[in-house]
Chain A
Amino acid sequence: MAAEVMLINEIEAKAASMAIDLNIDFNSIQLPRGEDCGIVSDDEDVYHDDQLEFDSGFGNVIVVDNLPVVPSEKFEKLEGVIRKIYSQIGVIKEDGLWMPVDPETKKTLGYCFIEYNTPQEAELAKEKTNGYKLDRAHIFAVNMFDDFDKYMRVPDEWAPPEIKPYTPGENLQKWLTDEKARDQFVIRAGTDTEVLWNDARQSKTELVYKRSYWTESFVQWSPLGTYLATVHRQGAAVWGGANTFNRLMRYAHPQVKLIDFSPGEKFLVTYSSHEPSNPHDANRVVINIFDVRTGKVMRDFKGSADEFTIGGAGGVAGVSWPVFRWGGGKEDKYFAKLGKNMISVYETETFSLIDKKSLKVENVVDFSWSPTDPILALFVPELGGGNQPARVSLVQIPSKVELRQKNLFSVSDCKMYWQSNGEYLAVKADRYTKTKKSTYTGFELFRIKERDIPIEVLELDNKNDKIIAFAWEPKGHRFAVIHGDNPRPDISFYSMKSSHNLGRVSKLTTLKGKQANALFWSPGGRFIVLAGLKGFNGQLEFFNVDELETMATAEQFMATDIEWDPTGRYVATAVTSVHEMENGFNIWSFHGKLLYRILKDHFFQFLWRPRPPSFLSAEKEEEISKYLKKYSKKYDAEDQDVSMLLSEQDREKRRMLKEEWEKWISEWRRASEEEKLERQRLRDGEASDEEEEYEAKEVEVEEILDFSEEVLFEE
């Protein structure tokens, strides 16, 4: 906006002519509503209120309709009744209840307005009392004031919707076409969030986009890498674009805490939890499911936190996230929620329950989807002191047919691990020993893709070993287990195939006494990083499972996070701000060579940008790996060129630095030479400056420290 420039004395003259006092009392200034002009209020309460108010400022007002019409003498009685009903739900603001009266008949008009302290209370009131029967003739119709506004604006006559001309969007996947085939990642340190290229050839990063205060809590990539989601007080937003990051869509959800994308990134689930007005109630949970591209709310779920915390994983800690687990592969067809004695499976065509009812399973505590197929694995614990055994079953969706079931005896706990292609399911079962005093662990291995889903039981060589970690090889048939009670546990590798019999699991090897407590398979399989986080101070071992050999051992001291890049070429290890010192990240090659290291204070997040799955068929991929030599030639040559160029640039840079330094130092010498006489004068004419070498002379000094004479008497 172009403002007219006015000199201050002109303003003063003008003010004087209009008799306006220019001495402004700053306390009297009120900023426009909803606008802080960049000034942050230091008043905690004001700040809090701002957070809760919606844009229009009437989010906390409801309209109650279908009230009895009463003459003025009964007005107070009715008002008392209404106040009684509505103050149970939340705190009505002072003068927050207004029941208009017909000025002629002095009768009420049959509706009233109620203003609450918070929009949450208003919403709750609407939910609870809409349809409330005061008596037979008076059933309350409650609406949000804001909605009223909205409905009023609906035009009476239908007009054909305007057809917007199609504007081609940006190519949101342009980053995949990078000429140097690099990958991107996002980091958050201090107030800055940066998206960077991993330029491993040049051992450095290249900035794509940087922004301060981009998010208020964290950032998250969508599962296929198309979007970067940021989280704000007012809701979530997604960003993307061909060459930079523009905001593509906003999803209003006040005080959103957590977000989750569906695997095919069609939908975004947002979650918030609100303090109840009554301290005895559980927190109120609001969950919205948005369509990522249109930004429309497809379905919302509201309720007390209790309704969302059923099941084993959530427990005392509260809602286990994600509440809704997406299944059915990348098509985003189904999502499911664990409830008390049931699993509610929804489908995304209508966003309603399949067959309009939940899947009833008594006492179910955990379930998980196959990553590729619409199959649910669910776990029911032991009941009645062992009379009814624990059970794992596989259920097909949407038919709800049980494909396979296995009863497990004296089981204390179960964990389910799917292989990434959905070919295998491993169920880790902790069983009581006969005395019930301790537990031991075994695995039930399901072969999902084979006929009748055969199950195999696997026990470790020493079955009393505690299992520290378990991980499937992505897209592969192997898995790794860290087990043992020692401070240095063992790591075993197993294959679902053995050399002579394809249907049997076999052990490949056991590595004894490793400093590791976490497993990180390369997304391409074959390689694995055995990491010792936390207590082991960041020990890293890069292991080749094909050759069963260690490629490298390394350490990033105090490492907290490890993540493979989506292609399996690089590994990032990071120290986040849980530690005070050494914050930053390292980039390693897949075989454990440190490529570069970047230090950043207050380092919070490191996330590789995911890639969508390859379009190549399995046969084509095999063909490429067969003729890899042919393809790699071109890249080897490029690599060499780059490294030549790099060392050339490096040399040049160093030469420049040295030259610059020499120039500066010679300049200084000249000045220093000019001052030489002056310096001599300061030293009383002592000619030597620091330039001259001193001479070492051997001087013998004899000093008499003490002299005494004693007379010795001789006998």
Chain B
Amino acid sequence: MRPILMKGHERPLTFLKYNRDGDLLFSCAKDHTPTVWFADNGERLGTYRGHNGAVWTCDVSRDSTRLITGSADQTVKLWNVQKGTQLYTFNFGSPARSVEFAIGDKLAVITTDPFMELTSAIHVKRIAGDPTEQTEESVLVIKGPQGRINRAVWGPLNRTIISAGEDAVIRIWDSETGKLLKESDKESGHKKTITSLTKAADGSHFLSGSLDKSAKLWDTRTLTLIKTYGTERPVNAVAMSPLLDHVVLGGGQDASAVTTTDHRAGKFEAKFYDKILQEEIGGVKGHFGPINALAFNPDGKSFSSGGEDGYVRLHHFDPDYFNIKI
């Protein structure tokens, strides 16, 4: 089917997130306004105004009532999804790079960038049921990794936190004590900045994408490497189909080099791989510029991609996609 082009952002996209029901799509971009769309027809439903910097990330609660966004304006904001009003603002001394609600939506993990004298950090905040009772202080702050922490997500039963970033190492932390439990192997692990990390629908495994032109699949509990998917360009975004054993990798050459080469040189395609066989299945072209964000609809029947070109492209799969055999 023809993709639906959603033009609502004026700057490059940074992050995409579907709610659990798969009817809403939240998009973040370097303009200051996260936007919510109908995931079916791409109609814009509303925007969340209030940030004063690029918005790097967001997450939505299981019941789709709360949105949490992290921004370069050094704040993380809680929003009422339906009304678009701000509920609470967490202030940090440096830009917030990633956020995620825990199972149960009572905790959130937030990563902040190194900035001025501050080092990068992982913060755990308690999210109050009633926004008027929300407090600022962190339950836990973890420091240690060098450079930016591009993504931190919760492990099974909120007992661990998995982080990855510029130092190319994936780490698993105890979410109670902040103790480092595991580190990815230097040999088998990524060689360059890890740009993205996404969990499987059941949380059993997760996929990491890196500028070393590969994506790797890991066991969430043991941090053992299960699969590696090689590609020919830096990977900025990864996604996994919840329905079929497919993974999607998006990326492309650096934005600064785009103008100097043929548009085909950048390979700004979303590439599909068989998750188990590690073989390339196909690609979806379209963006003029690298792909920065990818997300699968929880029903597995559509996916969306966000590019440096400022567009969100919403792709509904043709029926024959579901019959691919290799």
Check if A658 sits within 8 Å of B276, measured CB to CB: yes
Residues from chain A with Cβ under 8 Å of B181 in the complex: none
Instruction: Tell me the residues in window 223-246 of chain A with beta carbons closer than 8 Å to chain B beta carbons.
Output: none
Residue from the set B156, B219, B253, B267 with the largest chain A CB neighbour count within 10 Å: B156
Would A599 and B204 count as touching, CB distance under 8 A?
Answer: no
Known: A581-B233, A694-B21. A675 touches B202 (CB 8 A): no
In the assembled complex, A580 has its CB within 8 A of some CB on chain B: yes
Question: Counting CB contacts under 8 A, is A171 at the interface?
Answer: no
User: In whole angstroms, how far apart are the Cα atoms of A664 and B264 in the complex?
Assistant: 39
The B227-284 residues at the A interface (CB cut-off 8 A) are 230, 232-233, 245, 253, 257, 262, 264-267, 276-277
Count of chain A residues with a beta carbon within 8 Å of a chain B beta carbon: 28
Whether B104 sits at the interface, judged by CB under 8 Å, is yes
Any chain A CB within 8 A of the CB of B119?
no
Given contacts A581-B232, A694-B21, contact A675 B157 (CB under 8 A): yes
Say which residue of B202, B232, B233, B253 sits within 8 Å of A690 (CB atoms).
B202
Report the minimal beta-carbon distance from B45 to chain A, rounded to whole angstroms.
15
Residues on the A chain within 8 Å of B253, using CB: 580-581
Complex contacts, A668 vs chain B, CB 8 Å: 202, 204-205, 221
Q: Does B89 contact A (CB under 8 A)?
A: no
Contact B232 A599 (CB under 8 A): yes
Q: Are B201 and A690 in contact (CB under 8 A)?
A: yes
Q: Which residues of chain A are within 8 angstroms of B262 by Cβ–Cβ distance?
A: 537
Q: How far is the CB of A668 from chain B (nearest CB, A)?
A: 4
Q: Once bound together, how far apart are the Cα atoms of A671 and B266, in whole Å?
A: 42
Q: How far is the CA of A354 from the CA of B268 in the complex (A)?
A: 63
Does chain A have a CB within 8 A of B134? no
A578 is an interface residue with CB less than 8 A from chain B: no
Contact of A672 among B21, B204, B257, B277 (CB under 8 A): B204
Whether B265 lies near A672 (C-beta < 8 A) is no
A661-B276, A684-B104 given; A557·B265 CB < 8 A: yes
The reply on A558 being an interface residue by CB < 8 A is yes
* Docked CA distance A665–B201 (Å): 12
Chain B, interface size: which category?
A: 20 to 34
Residues of the A chain whose Cβ atoms lie less than 8 Å from the Cβ of B102: 682
Nearest-CB residue, chain B, relative to A584: B232
The reply on A74 being an interface residue by CB < 8 A is no
Across the interface, B226 reaches (CB within 8 A) one of A664, A669, A683, namely A664
**A679 vs B154: C-alpha distance when bound (angstroms):** 13
Residue of B nearest to A688 (CB): B62
Complex: how many Å from CA A409 to CA B238?
A: 67
Question: Which single residue of chain A is at the shortest CB-CB distance from B158?
Answer: A682
A contact residues around B62 at 8 Å (CB): 683
B103 within 8 Å of A by Cβ? yes
- Report chain B residues within 8 Å CB of A684: 104
For B221, the chain A residues whose CB sits under 8 A away are 668, 671
- Complex: A252 Cα to B116 Cα, angstroms: 56
**Given A665-B204, A672-B204, A682 contacting B104 (CB threshold 8 A):** yes
**B138-176 interface (Cβ within 8 A of A):** 156-158
* CB neighbours of B232 from chain A (8 A): 581-582, 584, 599
Q: Which of B105-158 contact A (CB under 8 A)?
A: 106, 156-158
Can you list 30 residue pairs at the A/B interface with Cβ under 8 Å?
A: A537-B262, A537-B264, A557-B264, A558-B265, A581-B253, A581-B266, A581-B267, A582-B267, A584-B232, A599-B232, A601-B213, A654-B277, A657-B276, A657-B277, A664-B226, A668-B202, A668-B205, A669-B202, A671-B156, A672-B156, A672-B202, A675-B156, A678-B157, A679-B103, A679-B157, A682-B157, A682-B158, A683-B103, A683-B104, A690-B202
Given contacts A580-B257, A657-B277, A664-B226, 13 further A-B contacts (CB under 8 A): A537-B262, A558-B265, A581-B265, A657-B276, A665-B204, A669-B204, A671-B221, A672-B156, A675-B156, A675-B157, A678-B157, A682-B102, A682-B104
Interface residues of A (CB under 8 A from B): 537, 557-558, 579-582, 584, 599, 601, 654, 657-658, 661, 664-665, 668-669, 671-672, 675, 678-679, 682-684, 690, 694
What 10 A-B pairs have minimum CB-CB distances, sorted nearest first? A682-B104, A668-B204, A661-B276, A683-B104, A682-B103, A657-B276, A678-B157, A582-B232, A599-B232, A675-B157
